[in-house]
Structure 1
């Protein structure tokens, strides 16, 4: 996925605005087990399929286990971490208005239109064993089978199952009205901060300069950042740098030291230390184990 900012990629097509990541047919390998903060106008359902997956939505970190389901609203900042091959997840991304009816019936006015307009949201987290979880997982499994088989009419099967998810969530009280618009000032400011960092993480980013860019004092910026992202500015920048370093190690033959410098580390030993802390291996061992060039 694109780095921590609004995604520019199309999810599905204009006629069928739905996509599963990573792709089920293996044509699109999951290129990272760390998806940095990003957002998009589509809704997203994230399932934990194996192991442990950390999902951050807005300002809350959820530790997900196999069977858990997470719902991310349109335009909502989120991040996914699934370190190692034993930890697996899938994301179902779709436009909310994909589910709407042309005829203005009761379901359209009470559920689908409010969902598409952001006035209604799914509950963020649905744990294994909670009411509705088995039904939602079964419907998502139907979607995966339909997308794998691609039989005539499979798009309708996908749409019907997504409507089924809405119905199950409504039945079990897993839809809630928003107290305030998702696009409030704080949300916009957070998106601006993440977008800026995603574009400049390979550059020197001293705290006073970053804070001043957003009209905040360094002390307030530190508190604001930690309260909303659950990590320090340095930790977030290092995560972006390590994720990009892993990509370069997989996709290029740049020397390891050059990779570290290219992503913004000016101390090679520190780069090795931070990389090992995330991936459990040195950059050289990671490159060898990934079958990179």
Structure 2
């Protein structure tokens, strides 16, 4: 399945994953790339297991870069910013399992909860949890992923219990592969919150004129400090990122509404419909009207 750009917000996701009674959801065979970007910067309160089924991507979780090729499995802690980039223009197809921490938590602070799950769920370390295609445990984990996915889409009695059992087994293999890079410092926490604040500010204000001074002021930095921090954090200049974000929003409106193109341009923050059309064509290779007719 193709991921539409609008699915992945550049901030905390609003989408619910699973249901209150069964807070787990499987997303299968996803493939999307826009100007070298596969997944936008985002975070969510759920944990996620992402596994590459074909191709390769560069996945960045909590600032740690992971080159994830076919059969690589990555565990992403709750509330961690993550983004995925195209690697050397190669295509990438992947699936993911997203689940709420409550789904795997114990009622009591037993050994499993206190010593094995909490360090991951609270992520007080900058850690990575990766099983590569060449690892000895890869075949076993791939089998568990296939069984979990198969049962998720089946309609069999007690499938939820079976899925939870498979999930615990997958977590076992990933958690013991933890590679600790550093204890999180106060500076790490500050920078993480600063990134989230920037993304949230852009989401709340992209419809309006936004200057570098306003963006920098949202996190109490000078223009120069802000530009350096932004480029290091998001591999883009602030203006390029903002334009891409606005174009991403425009695609949603083109697909889901019948608003005139000029109204959409204004709604997403472009002050000129001509500049919007030029930017849109440069990013997608087609005019806004052509995009609308294709979706």
Per the TM superposition, whether the score is higher than 0.5 is yes
Is residue 75 from structure 1 mapped to residue 86 from structure 2 by the alignment? no
Q: What's the secondary structure of 1:44's corresponding residue? A: strand
Aligned to 2:139: 134
User: How far 1:276 sits from its partner (Å)?
Assistant: 3.3
Aligned to 1:157: 162
Q: Distance in 2 between matches of 1:273 and 1:91?
A: 35
Work out whether residues 129 and 175 of structure 2, in 8 Å CA contact, stay in contact via their aligned partners in 1.
Answer: no
CA RMSD of aligned residues (A): 3.3
Aligned to 1:246: 251
Consecutive unaligned residues of structure 2, counting only runs of 5 or more, are 1-6
User: How far 1:264 sits from its partner (Å)?
Assistant: 1.6
Count of residue pairs the alignment pairs up? 281
Q: Residues 200-219 of structure 1: matches in 2 within 5 Å? A: 200-219=205-224
CA-to-aligned-CA distance 1:181-231 (integer Å, 9 cap, x gap): 798222112111110111111211110122123211100000011111111
Q: What's the secondary structure of 2:94's corresponding residue? A: strand
CA-to-aligned-CA distance 1:114-138 (integer Å, 9 cap, x gap): 3233347762554433443333333
Q: Distance in 1 between matches of 2:135 and 2:127?
A: 15
CA-to-aligned-CA distance 1:253-280 (integer Å, 9 cap, x gap): 2233332232122343443343234333
Change in CA separation of 1:103 and 1:258 when aligned onto 2, cut-off 3 Å: closer
Q: Distance in 1 between matches of 2:65 and 2:241?
A: 14
Work out whether residues 231 and 238 of structure 2, in 8 Å CA contact, stay in contact via their aligned partners in 1.
Answer: yes
CA-to-aligned-CA distance 1:147-183 (integer Å, 9 cap, x gap): 1103111111211111111221245x23548612798
Work out whether residues 115 and 121 of structure 1, in 8 Å CA contact, stay in contact via their aligned partners in 2.
Answer: no
The structure 2 residue matched to 1:44, chosen from 45, 48, 57, is 48
Q: Residues 204-283 of structure 1: matches in 2 within 5 Å? A: 204-283=209-288
Is the deviation greater in 256-265 or in 176-185? Answer: 176-185
Consecutive unaligned residues of structure 1, counting only runs of 5 or more, are none
Change in CA separation of 1:134 and 1:247 when aligned onto 2, cut-off 3 Å: farther
Aligned to 2:12: 6
Work out whether residues 146 and 154 of structure 1, in 8 Å CA contact, stay in contact via their aligned partners in 2.
Answer: yes
TM-score (norm 2): 0.79
Work out whether residues 58 and 84 of structure 2, in 8 Å CA contact, stay in contact via their aligned partners in 1.
Answer: yes
Q: Distance in 2 between matches of 1:151 and 1:208?
A: 57
Q: Distance in 1 between matches of 2:274 and 2:56?
A: 29
Aligned to 1:194: 199
Aligned to 2:62: 58
